[in-house]
Structure formats: C-alpha cells, structure tokens
C-alpha cells in the first residue's frame, strides 16, 4: 500500500511539474535577465534623504550610475528609491516629461526588441505576470518607462533594455505622488 501511495504521489508530482512548465513565457527572459535571479525582498528600501540639487520639488531625478531614483521634495530632501537600469549599450540620459500613467499596463514590445528577440510575445495584457508590473510612468516620446517589476531581486542591477524598473510597491508609491507633466531628469 505504501508503494502504491508513493507511485500515485510521484505521478501527481510529474503532472504538476509538466503543468507548471506549460504556464507560458518566463518574463524574466523577455526583459533582459534570466532565471539566475531568485525572489526576495526589495534589496534597496525607499528612504527620505538630503538631496543637494537645483531641481524643483516634484522633479524625478534618475541617477543611472547610482541605480537610484530621487523624487525631489521641498527643503533639500528627496525620496530615494532603488531601481534597475539599462544594461550595457542600453543606458541613456536626457530630460523628459511624464506623458502618461497606467495601472497594470499592457505591454507591446517595441520593434527594436522584437528584432533582437524573436521568442517574445507581440503583446501581453496587464496583470501580475506582465513584465511592466503594477504601474508604469511613460517618458515623453521615448520607448522608455519607469515601471514595476515582479522580480525585486533585479533592483540595483543593470538588466533592462533602457527602462527603469522598481519594485511594485515602490512604483505604486511614486505613481501616487507624481502627475502627468512632471519632469524626469535622467543622468547617465
């Protein structure tokens, strides 16, 4: 009887493993990093810090070298968030405005990404499995966004195709604090 139970348990485990493998696309591969990253809490928690810069309150300053995003506050302070940035060859700089904000955004890879990666879907509906995460802030006329990520272990890493990723908690916090039209300064 024990042997029969063990055989039944093994069969169910194999079926479950096959079902798990058939669940769709691993979005970690889509956005430029692989399964070597595993779960965990935000490695770079949000903090209020002193900020020495000549930016108006409400400005977002992205420092790609530090892998930090600052939301400028009054009185020489800022909220500092950890971010994931573009990997080598995908970093950029400039000044833009937030032109749109979306909750649980859908994702359509740009033509440049599709040319590099033929194995990715042409469109993904918004939701927990979407690589843009819980919120997205769209940057001017660029292809880039500040967006959430379901892999917090990538925060502080250079892994994206040019977007800035944050934990879903942090991007939701930022999303609730800024408006369309806010200035975003990307220092590279």
pLDDT in tens, 140-181: 989 899 999 988 899 999 998 889 999 999 999 999 999 999
Give the per-residue pLDDT at 15: 37
Give the per-residue pLDDT at 132: 93
What's the whole-model pTM score? 0.76
The answer as to whether 98 is a domain residue is yes
The answer as to whether 12 is a domain residue is no
Active site residue 163: yes
Contact 129, 24 (CB under 8 A): yes
Q: How far apart are the first and last CA of the chain?
A: 66
Give the per-residue pLDDT at 6: 40
Q: How far apart are CA 131 and CA 133, in angstroms?
A: 5
The answer as to whether 101 is a domain residue is yes
pLDDT tens digits, one per residue of 144-154: 999 999 888 99
Query: Which of these, 66, 50, 30, 64, lies nearest to 150 by C-alpha position?
Result: 30
Q: Which residue in 19, 118, 123, 147 is the catalytic one?
A: 147
Contact 57, 72 (CB under 8 A): yes
Structure token pair of residue 10: 């093994």
pLDDT tens digits, one per residue of 106-128: 988 888 888 888 888 888 889 88
pLDDT tens digits, one per residue of 4-61: 434 433 443 333 333 333 334 444 444 443 333 334 467 899 999 999 989 999 999 9
The answer as to whether 119 is a domain residue is yes
Give the per-residue pLDDT at 25: 40
Q: How far apart are CA 145 and CA 135, in angstroms?
A: 10
Element (H, E) at 98: strand 94-103
Q: Which residue in 19, 118, 123, 163 is the catalytic one?
A: 163
The answer as to whether 39 is a domain residue is yes
The CA-based dihedral angle spanning residues 55, 58, 63, 66, taken in that order and rounded to the nearest 10 degrees: 110
The answer as to whether 150 is a domain residue is yes
Q: How far is C-alpha 74 from the chain's CA centre?
A: 27
Q: Give the structural domain span for 157.
A: 27-187
Give the per-residue pLDDT at 124: 86
Confidence of residue 84 (pLDDT cuts 50, 70, 90): very high
Give the per-residue pLDDT at 38: 36
Phi and psi, residue 9, nearest 5°: -60, -45
Q: How far is C-alpha 166 from the chain's CA centre?
A: 5
Give the per-residue pLDDT at 19: 34
Give the per-residue pLDDT at 28: 40
Domain total in the chain: 1
% of residues, the chain, pLDDT over 70: 78
Active site residue 96: no
The answer as to whether 18 is a domain residue is no
What is the CATH classification number for the domain harbouring 114?
Answer: 2.40.440.10
Q: Which residue has the higher pLDDT, 27 or 74?
A: 74
Query: Which of these, 171, 178, 186, lies nearest to 100 by C-alpha position?
Result: 178
The answer as to whether 75 is a domain residue is yes
């Amino acid at each position: 009887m024990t042997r029969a139970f063990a055989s039944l348990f093994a069969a169910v485990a194999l079926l479950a493993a096959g079902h798990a493998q058939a669940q769709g696309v691993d979005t970690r591969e889509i956005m430029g990093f692989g399964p070597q990253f595993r779960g965990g809490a935000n490695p770079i928690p949000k903090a209020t810090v002193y900020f020495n810069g000549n930016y108006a309150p409400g400005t977002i300053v992205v420092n790609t070298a530090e892998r930090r995003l600052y939301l400028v506050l009054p009185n020489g302070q800022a909220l500092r968030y950890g971010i994931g940035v573009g990997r080598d060859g995908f970093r950029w700089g400039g000044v833009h405005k937030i032109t749109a904000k979306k909750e649980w955004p859908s994702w359509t890879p740009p033509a440049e990404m599709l040319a590099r990666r033929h194995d990715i879907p042409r469109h993904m509906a918004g939701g927990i499995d979407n690589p843009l995460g819980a919120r997205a802030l769209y940057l001017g006329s660029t292809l880039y966004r500040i967006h959430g990520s379901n892999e917090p272990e990538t925060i502080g890493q250079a892994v994206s195709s040019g977007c800035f990723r944050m934990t879903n908690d942090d991007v939701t916090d930022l999303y609730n604090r800024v408006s369309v039209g806010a200035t975003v300064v990307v220092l590279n």
